[in-house]
Structure 1
């Protein structure tokens, strides 16, 4: 399915996201609800460790994408909520060794939102995504 990644001239370019992504052709839209770092019984994982929580979230989202017939290459938008923006940026974005499941060459558009709290005080980060696959 054709995707066009656009960083318009005159705007800054980020290695973490693309400003605009367009999709053409018949397609199936996939929306995945905000994922928090929990086990199968909804108990918080990795309390106090934002990086480990984020990795657990990425693992859970990978399972959900697969269940819908998609991969991280099909993700067209990411929205991250965190109670600690500086820690998230330092430990989850700027760490060159971090195993991003999405492409560093063509990352999807994204938004990072600092919040005062998430659904459980043990949660430091939450991620929701949208994907598009051929219909």
Structure 2
């Protein structure tokens, strides 16, 4: 699937996301609902640890991508919701040792939104993604 990653030279460049991703051929579009840090019984995991919660979210999203035959290379957009934005940025965005499943050289566009609460008081982060595969 041809994808063009664009970071206009007059704007800042960030290692966590690409500003523009253009898809130029017919494709299959996949939306995955917001994933929270919960086990298979919908119980919160890793209360108080945003890094461990985000890893649990990424693991669950990987399972969902695999269920439709996709990988993180197919992800074209990420939207994160965080109760603790500074903590998320410090422990999940700026930390180069954080195990992101996407290509750090060509990350998808991304938005981070600070929220006052998520669906359960123990949830600190939620992530929703969109992916594109050859049609």
Name 1:43's counterpart in structure 2. Answer: 43
Name 1:82's counterpart in structure 2. Answer: 82
Helix, strand or coil for the counterpart of 2:77? strand
TM-score after normalising by structure 1: 0.99
Question: Structure 2 CA distance, aligned partners of 1:115 and 1:76?
Answer: 23
Question: Structure 1 CA distance, aligned partners of 2:70 and 2:9?
Answer: 31
Q: How does 1:1-135 map to 2 (within 5 A)?
A: 1-135=1-135
Question: Structure 2 CA distance, aligned partners of 1:10 and 1:96?
Answer: 25
Question: Structure 2 CA distance, aligned partners of 1:40 and 1:15?
Answer: 32
Q: In the comparison of the two structures, how many residue pairs are matched?
A: 135
Superposed CA deviations along residues 80-132 of structure 1, whole A, max 9, x for unmatched, are 00000000001111112111100110000000000000000000000000000
Helix, strand or coil for the counterpart of 2:56? helix
TM-score after normalising by structure 2: 0.99
Question: Structure 2 CA distance, aligned partners of 1:59 and 1:82?
Answer: 17
Moved over 3 A (4+): none
Root-mean-square deviation (CA), in Å? 0.5
Question: Structure 2 CA distance, aligned partners of 1:97 and 1:48?
Answer: 20
